[in-house]
C-alpha cells in the first residue's frame, strides 16, 4: 500500500486544534494523518476523522507505540487502546516510536509482527532508528518493515539513512521539516522561494517530496497554511535548487535527540 507523499502531523497539537484541523486538511485533500500514543491526541484525531466524513479506506493513518508499552504484555493492549481512541479497526502504519534497550529488540519486533498478523496494522515500521538499528530490526522481522520516520530537514544530512531505506525497499518519513522554524530566515531558501514565487515552506516540502523514497509530515494550526503546504505538486525544483538546499546540511544540524531515547546516530 503506497504512503501519500504529504502527510499531516499532530505532534504537540491540542485536542481542540486537532479536532478542528484534521477535518480541514482532509477537506483540502490530505490523505495521510500521523499521530502517536505519547502525543495524547489519538482520541481527537479519531473525532476529527469521523467529523470529516471520509471513507476510512481512503485515508492513510499512522500511530506509534510508546516505549513504556514495548513489553509483550502491554504492547497489544496499548494498540487496542489506540484503535479504540482512533475509532478504527486498524491503522495503515504502526511504528515503534523510539529505540529502547529496556525490552529486547527481538521482543519488540515480535510484538509488532503479532499485531500486524492480527489485522490491527496494515504496515509496520520504526521511528528514530539509526541504520545499524534498522538493519537489526529488518533481520528480526518476519514481515517487511515499511518505514523509518526520522528528523529530516535542510540542515541535517540523512544520506546514510536514505541509502539504507532504499536498499531495504522502505520509505523515509521526514518530520521537523521546517527545522523548528529555522528555515524561515534562511537566505538560500528565501532566494529559491522568490525565484519560484512560492513560500519557504513550500520549497522545503517540495525539496523533500521530490526525493526518491521520501514522504514528509507538515504541521500547522492554520487552515490557510495547510492549504499552502498542500500546493507543492504543481512545480519542480531544479537539480541546482536541490543541491543548494542539500548543501545547507551541517554537523550540528540535528534538533531532536532526547537523552535516554536517542540512539547513536549515523
Q: Looking at the annotation, which residues are catalytic?
A: 39
Q: Give the three cell numbers for residue 66.
A: 510508546
Long-range contacts of 100-107 (CB under 8 A, 24+ apart): 100/67, 100/70, 100/261, 102/67, 102/70, 103/70, 103/71, 103/72, 105/133, 105/136, 105/137, 105/140, 106/140, 107/70, 107/71, 107/72
**Rounded to the nearest 10 degrees, how much is the dihedral formed by the CA atoms of 136, 140, 144, 147?**
-40
The whole-angstrom separation of Cα 17 and Cα 248 is 33
Q: Give the three cell numbers for residue 51.
A: 467529523
Tracing cell 495547510 back to the chain, one arrives at 226
Q: Give the three cell numbers for residue 102.
A: 529496556
- Helices and strands (H, E) in the chain, number of each type: 10, 8
What is the DSSP code string of 3-18?
A: PPSEEEE-TT--HHHH
Catalogue the E-assigned strands of 185-240. 214-218
The whole-angstrom separation of Cα 130 and Cα 109 is 16
CA angle (104, 106, 112) in 5-degree steps: 110
Amino acid at each position: 500500500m503506497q504512503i501519500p507523499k504529504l502527510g499531516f502531523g499532530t505532534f504537540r497539537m491540542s485536542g481542540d486544534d486537532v479536532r478542528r484541523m484534521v477535518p480541514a486538511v482532509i477537506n483540502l485533500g490530505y490523505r495521510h494523518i500521523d499521530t502517536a500514543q505519547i502525543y495524547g491526541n489519538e482520541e481527537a484525531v479519531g473525532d476529527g476523522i469521523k467529523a470529516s466524513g471520509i471513507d476510512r479506506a481512503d485515508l492513510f493513518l499512522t500511530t506509534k507505540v510508546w516505549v513504556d508499552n514495548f513489553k509483550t504484555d502491554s504492547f497489544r493492549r496499548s494498540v487496542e487502546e489506540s484503535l479504540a481512541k482512533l475509532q478504527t479497526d486498524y491503522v495503515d502504519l504502526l511504528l515503534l516510536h523510539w529505540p529502547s534497550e529496556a525490552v529486547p529488540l527481538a521482543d519488540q519486533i515480535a510484538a509488532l509482527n503479532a499485531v500486524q498478523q492480527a489485522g490491527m496494522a496494515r504496515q509496520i515500521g520504526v521511528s528514530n532508528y539509526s541504520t545499524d538499528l534498522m538493519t537489526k530490526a529488518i533481520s528480526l522481522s518476519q514481515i517487511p518493515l515499511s518505514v523509518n520516520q526520522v528528523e529530516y530537514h535542510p540542515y541535517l544530512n540523512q544520506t546514510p539513512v536514505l541509502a539504507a531505506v532504499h536498499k531495504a525497499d522502505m520509505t523515509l518519513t521526514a518530520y521537523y521539516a521546517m527545522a523548528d522554524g529555522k528555515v524561515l530566515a534562511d537566505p538560500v531558501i528565501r532566494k529559491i522561494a522568490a525565484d519560484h514565487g512560492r513560500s519557504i515552506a513550500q520549497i522545503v516540502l517540495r525539496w523533500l517530496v521530490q526525493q526518491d523514497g521520501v514522504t514528509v509530515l507538515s504541521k500547522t494550526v492554520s487552515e490557510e497554511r495547510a492549504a499552502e503546504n498542500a500546493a507543492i505538486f504543481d512545480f519542480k525544483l531544479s537539480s541546482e535548487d536541490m543541491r543548494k538546499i542539500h548543501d545547507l546540511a551541517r554537523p550540528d544540524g540535528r534538533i531532536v535527540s532526547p537523552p535516554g531515547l536517542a540512539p547513536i546516530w549515523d
